[in-house]
């Protein structure tokens, strides 16, 4: 059995072991396999080729070796095989796996035996059914051999219990909680595990790379709820003085005061939380705390992450989602991460760090919830499970997972104190009145489902009279909420609970250099896919070193000022990759 690339440079079928179709060392001629079969004394012989142009193997196939010798191909000589996105596999492989694990009644006999001819006819029918219902057509499989010898290729001793993981093939409507969880986690990983390389085009599409290859840790300035309360008093005092100077009067109406305060904040060029923090620090001689975003996730039950466009807020949210989902899917006791992906001051290290207990990640775009709320007002808890990601709903085996069942699953994990809710893009809500409504619903959700210990309100048997020191998510797990937002737009209607705000700092030099290394490596891996890994590494290192030197050129300080967040460093890297330097024209 082979599933991969098929290549026929001179008419002979080559089975290619990776994406490099040109290098001979990366491929195997089908003749090596057919020649080996000549010396094989097995009674029954079967070759399955799931690749493009698989039918070309017929040139090297000798059916006279044995009457019980079959060659099954996914395509004819000139046809391309099809990998179907919603199946997460090639068509032939997916349905062979389904046949051997589920043993459908229309393929196996009364003794649960799957025979080669029956399998072939069933696969052919599945391909025809697929082509009737889908615009993208798949080639019909082909079977060569003496079909009088319909030998068995599998005996399914326990139908539909062949393996515990067979749940991946169940119909979404029949999934139980365990299988639904597995399908949902797999979908999360598939959605968020790869990052689009913007600015790089390949076949009219932006290529993608594994998220963990280019993800870099970031730091932020931490302000607590209590600090912001004190700072708000100072800012309100300044607003009062400002208005009094203009109108020579006092504001007795609180709504009018809040309205004017909002107008001033909306016009303010600096994020008020930063302004208020600085006011507080200067007035009360307090030092602000710098914290890595990984540490913030470990420590803060209610966390708001603020940053400029391109600062890495959504990438962080997706990275957390993948980390949590993989840990749950693998049954890990802890969520483990390389230290370099948590601490931006660590460039390379074999050390790891724990992010706490595995919990169910639920990532929602706030704008999607706002849009759904506008159509029909509903609590946030009732929306979870019905939410898409960039228009895509959770699917499994090409079918949409039942939203009602997902909602029940998420509620179950929230009730158990084992969920992490990630609300991305708080600033993207249009309209101040709608923003206030959504903020209120989020605050109600936090009050109902996430107390200081990460437990829902329904679990409170008696009031909490004291709080242990060790109640952080790292120590005890529990429900947790992460909210991301651009700096501009958040302060008009902030979350008014005891959430800690972390405003992403400009990238440190270590973080910038680490990003240059990983980004350049990813670019060269894509653009030099036909070269060997040593050549790719050598060229990537050379360009990365030149890029870092150009960014930190002491004679070009403004370029260093630009390299403040992942998006801007990506733009600089793209310019440098294309031009080889930062000229006056390019910059």
- The CATH number of residue 136's host domain is 3.40.50.1460
Answer yes or no: do 545 and 463 share one domain: no
Answer yes or no: do 111 and 51 share one domain: yes
Answer yes or no: do 422 and 539 share one domain: no
Nearest to 359 by CA among 326, 384, 390, 337: 326
Residue 184 CB coordination number (10 Å): 26
Answer yes or no: do 556 and 496 share one domain: no
Answer yes or no: do 443 and 569 share one domain: no
| pLDDT of 284 above 50 | no
One DSSP character per residue, 235-284 reads HHHHHHHHHHHHHSS----HHHHHHHHHHHHHH-SS-HHHHHHHHHHHHH
More confident residue, 130 or 314: 314
Split at pLDDT 50, 70, 90, the class of 201 is low
Answer yes or no: do 315 and 427 share one domain: yes
Task: Give me the pLDDT at residue 239, please.
Answer: 64
Tens of pLDDT, residues 250-266 = 555 555 655 565 555 54
Q: Residue range 300-310: average pLDDT? A: 92
The rounded distance, in Å, linking the Cα atoms of 482 and 475 is 17
Q: Which two tokens stand for residue 375?
A: 């159509």
Residue 127 belongs to what domain range? Answer: 2-162
Judge whether 282 lies within some domain.
Answer: no
Strand duo 45-50 + 69-73: pairing: parallel
Answer yes or no: do 324 and 440 share one domain: yes
Tens of pLDDT, residues 447-500 = 999 999 999 987 654 444 444 555 799 989 999 999 999 987 777 678 887 888
Task: Give me the pLDDT at residue 279, please.
Answer: 47
Domain boundary (504, 519, 536) is at: 504
Tens of pLDDT, residues 148-194 = 777 777 765 443 333 333 333 445 555 666 689 999 999 999 999 98
Q: Residue range 125-139: average pLDDT? A: 84
Residue pair 218/507 in contact (Cβ under 8 Å)? The answer is yes
Q: Distances from the Cα of 351 to the Cαs of 198, 264, 338, 420, in angstroms?
A: 31, 47, 6, 25
Q: Distances from the Cα of 22 to the Cαs of 392, 427, 471, in angstroms?
A: 36, 48, 57
Answer yes or no: do 343 and 381 share one domain: yes
Answer yes or no: do 561 and 494 share one domain: no
Answer yes or no: do 498 and 544 share one domain: no
| pLDDT of 351 above 60 | yes
Split at pLDDT 50, 70, 90, the class of 35 is confident
| pLDDT of 137 above 80 | yes
Judge whether 585 lies within some domain.
Answer: no
Judge whether 167 lies within some domain.
Answer: no
Answer yes or no: do 392 and 528 share one domain: no
Judge whether 449 lies within some domain.
Answer: yes
Judge whether 170 lies within some domain.
Answer: no
Answer yes or no: do 554 and 535 share one domain: yes
Tens of pLDDT, residues 39-67 = 888 888 899 999 888 888 887 776 666 67
Strand partners, 445: none
Residue partners of 563: CB distance under 8 A and separation at least 6: 507, 512, 551, 569, 572
Rounded to two decimals, the pTM is: 0.63
Give how many domains the chain has, as a whole number: 3
Tens of pLDDT, residues 222-244 = 876 666 566 556 656 666 666 66
The rounded distance, in Å, linking the Cα atoms of 261 and 144 is 79
């Amino acid at each position: 059995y082979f599933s991969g690339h098929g290549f026929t440079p001179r008419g002979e079928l080559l089975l290619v072991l990776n994406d490099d179709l040109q290098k001979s060392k990366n491929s195997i001629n089908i003749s090596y396999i057919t020649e080996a079969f000549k010396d094989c004394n097995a009674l029954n012989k079967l070759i399955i080729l799931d690749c493009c142009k698989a039918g070309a193997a017929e040139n090297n196939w000798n059916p006279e070796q044995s009457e019980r010798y079959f060659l099954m191909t996914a395509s004819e000589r000139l046809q391309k095989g099809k990998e179907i996105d919603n199946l997460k596999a090639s068509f032939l492989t997916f349905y062979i796996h389904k046949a051997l694990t589920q043993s459908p009644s229309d393929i196996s006999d009364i003794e649960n035996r799957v025979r080669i001819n029956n399998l072939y006819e069933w696969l052919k029918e599945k391909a025809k059914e697929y082509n009737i219902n889908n615009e993208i057509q798949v080639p019909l499989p082909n079977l060569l051999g003496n079909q009088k010898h319909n030998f068995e290729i599998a005996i399914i001793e326990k139908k539909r219990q062949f393996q515990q993981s067979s749940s991946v093939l169940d119909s979404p409507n029949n999934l139980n909680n365990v299988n639904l969880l597995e399908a949902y986690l797999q979908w999360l990983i598939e959605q968020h595990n790869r990052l689009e390389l913007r600015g790089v085009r390949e076949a009219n599409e932006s290529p993608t790379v594994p998220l963990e290859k280019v993800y870099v840790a970031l730091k932020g300035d931490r302000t607590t709820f209590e600090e912001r309360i004190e700072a708000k008093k100072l800012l309100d005092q300044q607003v009062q003085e400002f208005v009094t100077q203009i109108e020579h009067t006092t504001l007795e109406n609180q709504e009018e005061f809040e309205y004017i305060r909002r107008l001033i904040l909306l016009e303010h060029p600096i994020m008020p939380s930063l302004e208020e923090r600085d006011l507080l620090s200067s007035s009360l001689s307090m030092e602000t705390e710098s914290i890595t975003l990984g540490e913030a996730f470990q420590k803060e039950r209610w966390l708001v992450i603020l940053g400029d466009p391109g600062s890495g807020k959504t990438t962080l949210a997706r990275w957390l989602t993948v980390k949590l989902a993989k840990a749950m899917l693998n049954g890990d006791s802890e969520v483990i991460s390389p230290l370099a992906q948590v601490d931006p001051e660590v460039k390379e290290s074999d050390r790891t760090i724990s992010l706490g207990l595995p919990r169910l990640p639920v990532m929602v775009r706030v704008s999607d919830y706002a849009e759904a709320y506008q159509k029909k007002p509903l609590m946030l808890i009732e929306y979870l499970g019905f939410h898409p990601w960039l228009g895509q709903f959770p699917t499994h085996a090409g079918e949409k997972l039942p939203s009602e069942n997902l909602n029940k699953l998420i509620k179950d994990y929230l009730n158990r104190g084992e969920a992490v809710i990630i609300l991305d893009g708080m600033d993207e809500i249009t309209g101040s009145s709608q923003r206030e409504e959504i903020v209120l619903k989020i605050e109600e959700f936090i009050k109902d489902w996430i107390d200081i210990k990460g437990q829902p309100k329904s679990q409170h048997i008696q009031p909490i009279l004291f709080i242990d020191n060790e109640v952080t998510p790292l120590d005890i797990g529990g429900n947790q909420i992460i909210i991301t937002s651009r700096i501009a737009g958040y302060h008009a209607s902030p979350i008014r609970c005891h959430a800690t705000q972390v405003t992403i700092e400009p990238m440190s030099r270590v973080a910038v250099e680490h990003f240059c290394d990983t980004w350049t490596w990813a670019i060269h891996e894509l653009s030099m896919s036909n070269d060997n890994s040593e050549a790719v590494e050598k060229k990537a290192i050379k360009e990365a070193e030149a890029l870092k030197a150009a960014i930190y050129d002491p004679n070009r300080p403004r370029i260093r000022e630009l390299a403040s967040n992942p998006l801007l460093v990506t733009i600089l890297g793209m310019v440098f990759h294309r031009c080889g330097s930062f000229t006056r024209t390019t910059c």
